[in-house]
Structure 1
Amino acid sequence: MLRRLRDVMAGVGTPQQRLDSTVQVIAHELGAEVCSIYVQRPGRVLELCATQGLNPQAVHRLFFQPGEGLVGHIAETRLPLTLAEAQKHPKFAYRPETGEEAFQSFAGVPIRRSDRVLGVLVVQHVSMRELDEEEVESLETLAMVLAEVLTTMSLPGGDPSRDRGPLVIHGIRIHDGVAIGRARLHQPRVVIGGVVAEDSAVEHELLRAALADMHESLDRVMESEALSAAGEHRDVLETYRLIARDTGWIGRIRDAIDSGLTAAAAVQKVRDDTRSRMAAVKDEYLRERLADFEDVALRLLRRLAAGEAAEEPATPDEPFILVARSMGPAELLDYAGAQLKGLVLEEASATAHVGIVARALDIPVVGRLAHLIEEVDPGDPLIVDGDHGQVLVRPGDDARAQFRESLSVREATRARYAALRDTPAVSRDGVRLSLQMNAGLLVDVSQLEAVGAEGIGLYRTEIPFLVRREYPDVDAQTELYGRILDSAGGRAVTFRTLDAGGDKRLHSFVHEVEENPALGWRALRIGLDQPAILRQQVRAMIQAAGERPVRIMVPMVATVDEFRAARAIVDLEIARAAARPEAMPSTISVGAMVEVPSALLAIDELAREADFLSVGSNDLLQFLFAADRSGERTANRYDPLSVLFLDAMRRIVEAGKRAGIDVSVCGEMAGRPLEALALSALGYRTLSMSAVSIGPVKEAILSSNINQLSDFILYSMKKKTGSLRNHLKSYLSDHR
């Protein structure tokens, strides 16, 4: 039957004709009234591509989302499913266009190749019968042959490539730390050259030789100087070596060869069976032992697929993140000494043995990452946040910049400013400033203590949105904001509502093409036009706060009426929360960002309406001078230390004083020592900046006389035009 199926799929005719013949052969051989093949398309959607027994009109018109119906459930779990009465299963989804109401039983298996789910193979019967274990194994073997041929077919509808957008996958922390690098699969995916054996005796000999070579290789590793000393790692590896010699496991591979598979296909089938067992086992210890079997199978498979002893993995030229479904401790040692920066695993638990080796190598590790292998390709940029148990796949520039900044704080500036961490930012003449931190990721919040920030003056809520493919619901946002507040440890956190649009395009949101996106539909404009988005964010912030105070800041306020409309939405959520039995925040402050010139012209009225103001100096400078801050020729054309811009900043802080509210600066201007001193001289007492900037700015404040500097700047603004940068530098140099 295997050879006949292989011949049909490799024969003449279009891909569709061969698929049609394939389902006819399988249905006939298994005595089934229905046989159907579903192929996974972009977005992991499953499409009916061929059927014998269902309505042929449903072909290429019937789709299942991941987890939807019995077909989607099989693809999601990667496990076979056999039911005597399919319609009684909670996952059953009736589709009238198929005409399947006449069929009672259902059996399906995933079509897998090289750790990827390519589709689902299904057979159905009119009678109520449940396939036995041997029949299910036969179906799985047929699916292996299907997988081999599907990858070479040009199917109708295009290549089944996946969505290549950014993604964040949450897992569990195995070892903390942060790492950035490109994905490297735990050995390249093994592609089996053939599934159906021509001579079983030859395949048995290939298996014997591969086993002997693998056992010899493991013995050499155990006898190496680096691992010869006794210790926990030695005990783990001894257990691993025993598993590699397990007669029951090897016997199952030999049985698979006897059934007609090649040696490599037999190992792959036993490996898939082991993985299926792993999914059903709840005991963590047993799951780890099964993971060791998986690791041994991969070692053996590489030897069989190559036809000779596998070479040790080459050392890449650039930092990399190792990606694996699961990993035994011996495998990780193969990469020791290379530019390995982190490890991410689909199935490992917090007690994984590989974590012991990872801690010895001092690399961050995150495990239990659902669908990791399906979502990551070699070379994909990855960020490993071991502190919070998450991995960012193909992150955007904003996310990468945030993490590089965090790494910079960890590696370059921590030592220099450690001595100033607990020192208040008080000038020589007694002026005290509150230095806060801008953040956009959980890993940033963990830097609060390290850099001595008094709080988070700007939390960019759009960053988590940008690194994930789906739009987070209220529960997901509540969990995230709660973790941020928890990590802040009682320090103030100011959440900026979604600032999407412009150069920040969410993959979960449809952004129209605009001629001037920076001036288009973005930030608060989206929130007012789509109030459900803003309400969900505010609701999540209130729920996450509990009894703690919460500060909410709306971006890109162009008119006072816009701010009033945003505040009215916040008030609706406050009223909703008050009517419920849950705890309410002790205070809810609603502030406005000043970054649009029209808001500057109405600054006194806006200050009377808001609980606080925060100046977004980046956009305010861009809009005030009509100069694209991302443009090569315009980015540095206009100076924030120009008299014109300093006067605009002075007007804002004085309006805040008249209204009796706090006014802060949260743009790049606040994080540069020279500009920060100028702002403090104008009257700003709260500055929020990147974590890496807090040390240098604090150092500058500690060495300055703010009141004298204020007199100098205000006098200079009356007497000079253009930029005060060089004039200010000279003054500070003269006054040390």
Structure 2
Amino acid sequence: MFSGISVSPGVALAQAVVLSSEQVSFDRSPVASEFIEREIDKFKNAVAESVKQLTLIETHVREKMGDDKAAIFEGHLMLVEDEELSETVIEVIRGQRFPAPAAVEAVINEHASAMEEMEDEYLKARAVDMRDLGHRLVLNCLGIAPQSLETFEFEVIIVAEDLTPSQAAVLDTSKVKGIITERGSRTSHTAIMAASMEIPAIVAVEGVSTAIQNGDMVALDAEHNQIIVNPTPSQLDQVEYRREQFILERKLLEELRDLPARTSDGVRIKLAANIGSPADSAPALLKGAEGVGLYRVEFLFMETSEAPDEEMQYQAFKSVVDDMKGMPVVIRTLDVGGDKDLPYLALPKEENPFLGCRGIRLCFERPSLLLRQLRALLRAGVHGDIRILVPMISSVDEVRRFKEFLAEAQSSLEHEGIAYAKDLPVGVMIETPAAVFLAPHLIRETDFFSIGTNDLTQYTLAVDRQNERIAELFEQLSPAVLLGIKHTVDAAREEGKPVCVCGQMAGDVLSALLLVGLGVEELSMSPVHIPRVKNAIRKHSCARLRDIARDALGLATAAEVKAKLEKYLG
């Protein structure tokens, strides 16, 4: 039996088709000077061919899955046509006499490696997209047609080391009943597309592509994160039962989409979506999101080889606002620096990046970067309900300084006669212990709080959540973390201002119910989790959840908290 990370719910039973990794070998030796221009032409032709291929994929995806998924490949097209990227590859060919495929490989690897080193799971997952595009360019430089997955004659579960977004895009959903990969994450575009196509999927399953053979019967239970190879008759019966239960539950959850998340005693909880690009807006609405609780703009900065200009940011923000049709959109200002690198920013290495120049600290160091983004936000604000969220705040002085930048951005737009929203709400991320302790002061300077439970847990417990040696110490249900959340919620309530939780806890059913008991009235999560969280909220009374939360705050360990939640809410 295997397990990994369940990224798309469901239960499937079918024969395995194991995809072998597509290895490409070519000569990386420097080319003679007289062949430099030939290699440059080879690269330019590869770009043109890649554009044709991606345009066909984009059209196919738009017809089969809609504009939101097609936008993934619009991003690929933007990148492959990016002049800065092409110029960089050509410089490597000329300056280092690399053959075209080797130059593409070197440049793409540099960008993808920088993404893979990032802490943010969503941004780290974009490295797969970058390598997918790089592989396509390399193949086209060599005159090799990229591998495509043809229609299968029978129902299958695909098993692979990894599955690229362009491969996932052309899957025949009538035959492909499940996906299992050794690599991947919850936020990879392959995971997003699998969920959109309602194909059960489990990723990050160690050793699975060699352990499973072609033709093996595989039971994939993404509900319970289980993969059974060649199941016994009794296991088959259990899988069939689970599949029937999943189908029934999905119908129930679909019926809840337009109903409010209201507890049985009438307390209204708002459920919003975390997104990383405009393409994520439509799927969020389909799951019943009541707005965007966290728009991470970092992906926008990863799509180009230089910082996006004001107009590009404005169009991206406006697109999300238009999709939300009047519902609130909370946009976090650029949160990179330290461990989250962007190659074109040339950030210096730091001894302790988690405590270094990241988030708003970096933006203060790069005033033009911040002002450009604030101008775009202010302009987009005239089209809908935009709210600005500031990350990595640890003092009141930082909030006041941010407001000075905002005022400067407003003044410049006013001077130029450009329309802008004059009173955009400003909130801060509560993700450091300092912000928790200063919550009563910070809330008087701002309009709302957003609690990032991932970083709050990391900083409160002094546990690097990327360090596997101490992974078991990263406990979001730690009483220390819960006390910090309660203190923050109470401070906001005292001033009559809203507080949202947008971290991983919000999308976990038991944790979400605990947060409601702690007084949180807005949760923002990955869209796929919204239906189940809503269903759970509607089944419980807020009074009972408050009692359970009060008791949980008096417990000494995360294990005790977890046991209590499972006993009374599981």
Q: Same fold (TM over 0.5)?
A: yes
Q: Alignment partner for residue 278 of structure 2, among 439, 442, 445?
A: 442
The offset of 1:586, in angstroms, is 6.6
Q: Alignment partner for residue 584 of structure 1, among 420, 442, 445?
A: 420
Q: Quick one: structure 1 residues 421 and 382, their matched pair in 2 at CA, closer, same or farther if it must change by over 3 Å?
A: closer
- Determine the structure 2 residue equivalent to 1:730: 567
What do the CA deviations read for 1:313-341 (whole angstroms, capped 9, x no partner)? 89x5xx66xxxxxxxxxxxxxx56599xx
The offset of 1:517, in angstroms, is 1.5
Give the CA RMSD over aligned residues: 3.7
- Determine the structure 2 residue equivalent to 1:159: 98
- Give yes or no for the alignment of 1:711 onto 2:547: yes
Q: Alignment partner for residue 349 of structure 2, among 488, 513, 522?
A: 513
The offset of 1:189, in angstroms, is 5.0
Q: Alignment partner for residue 198 of structure 2, among 411, 415, 439?
A: 411
Q: Quick one: structure 1 residues 575 and 402, their matched pair in 2 at CA, closer, same or farther if it must change by over 3 Å?
A: farther
What do the CA deviations read for 1:601-638 (whole angstroms, capped 9, x no partner)? 21110111011110011001000000011121323324
- Determine the structure 1 residue equivalent to 2:465: 629
The offset of 1:552, in angstroms, is 0.5
How do 1:419-498 residues align onto structure 2 when only pairs under 5 Å count? Answer: 419-498=255-334
Secondary structure at the residue paired with 2:272?
A: strand
The offset of 1:537, in angstroms, is 0.6
- Determine the structure 1 residue equivalent to 2:45: 115
Q: Quick one: structure 1 residues 397 and 460, their matched pair in 2 at CA, closer, same or farther if it must change by over 3 Å?
A: farther
Secondary structure at the residue paired with 2:469?
A: coil
Equivalent pair of 2:46/2:141 in contact (CA under 8 Å):
no
What do the CA deviations read for 1:332-390 (whole angstroms, capped 9, x no partner)? xxx56599xxxxxxxxxxxxxxxxxxxxxxxxxxxxxxxxxxxxxxx99555999xxxx
Q: Alignment partner for residue 188 of structure 2, among 370, 382, 401?
A: 401
Equivalent pair of 1:114/1:191 in contact (CA under 8 Å):
no
Higher relative contact order (CA 8 A, sep 6+): 2
Secondary structure at the residue paired with 2:513?
A: helix
Q: Quick one: structure 1 residues 725 and 554, their matched pair in 2 at CA, closer, same or farther if it must change by over 3 Å?
A: same
- Give yes or no for the alignment of 1:663 onto 2:499: yes
What do the CA deviations read for 1:557-581 (whole angstroms, capped 9, x no partner)? 0111111111211122123334444
Q: Quick one: structure 1 residues 636 and 689, their matched pair in 2 at CA, closer, same or farther if it must change by over 3 Å?
A: farther
How do 1:284-683 residues align onto structure 2 when only pairs under 5 Å count? Answer: 381-382=164-165, 401=188, 404-405=191-192, 407-411=194-198, 417-585=253-421, 587-683=423-519
Misfit runs of 4+, over 6 Å? 396-399
Letter in structure 2 aligned against 1:576? S
Q: Quick one: structure 1 residues 437 and 383, their matched pair in 2 at CA, closer, same or farther if it must change by over 3 Å?
A: farther
Secondary structure at the residue paired with 1:687?
A: strand
In the superposition, the TM-score normalised over structure 1's length comes to: 0.50
The offset of 1:539, in angstroms, is 0.5
Letter in structure 2 aligned against 1:509? L
Q: Quick one: structure 1 residues 674 and 498, their matched pair in 2 at CA, closer, same or farther if it must change by over 3 Å?
A: same
Q: Quick one: structure 1 residues 383 and 599, their matched pair in 2 at CA, closer, same or farther if it must change by over 3 Å?
A: farther
Structure 1: stretches of 5+ with no match in the other structure: 1-13, 20-36, 45-110, 119-153, 168-178, 193-301, 303-312, 321-334, 340-378, 387-395
- Determine the structure 2 residue equivalent to 1:65: none
Letter in structure 1 aligned against 2:351? E
In the superposition, the TM-score normalised over structure 2's length comes to: 0.63
Secondary structure at the residue paired with 1:411?
A: coil
The offset of 1:439, in angstroms, is 0.2
The offset of 1:403, in angstroms, is 5.5
- Structure 1, 682-691 or 498-507: larger mean CA deviation: 498-507
| Greater radius of gyration (CA) | 1
Equivalent pair of 1:554/1:592 in contact (CA under 8 Å):
yes
Distance 1:628 1:113 in 2: 41
User: Which one has a larger percent helix, Structure 1 or Structure 2?
Assistant: 2
Distance 1:731 1:511 in 2: 48
Distance 2:254 2:542 in 1: 24
Letter in structure 2 aligned against 1:159? F
The offset of 1:708, in angstroms, is 1.7
Secondary structure at the residue paired with 1:428?
A: coil
Q: Percent identity?
A: 31
- Structure 1, 616-625 or 408-417: larger mean CA deviation: 408-417
Q: Quick one: structure 1 residues 705 and 507, their matched pair in 2 at CA, closer, same or farther if it must change by over 3 Å?
A: same
What do the CA deviations read for 1:676-711 (whole angstroms, capped 9, x no partner)? 111100110011011111111111101111112202
Letter in structure 1 aligned against 2:508? R
Q: Alignment partner for residue 685 of structure 1, among 521, 524, 528?
A: 521
Letter in structure 1 aligned against 2:384? R
Distance 1:430 1:540 in 2: 39
The offset of 1:487, in angstroms, is 1.6
Letter in structure 1 aligned against 2:563? N
Equivalent pair of 2:328/2:384 in contact (CA under 8 Å):
no
Q: Quick one: structure 1 residues 403 and 574, their matched pair in 2 at CA, closer, same or farther if it must change by over 3 Å?
A: farther
Secondary structure at the residue paired with 2:455?
A: helix
Q: How many pairs does the alignment contain?
A: 404
The offset of 1:191, in angstroms, is 7.2
Distance 1:647 1:467 in 2: 39
Equivalent pair of 1:676/1:697 in contact (CA under 8 Å):
yes
Letter in structure 1 aligned against 2:341? R
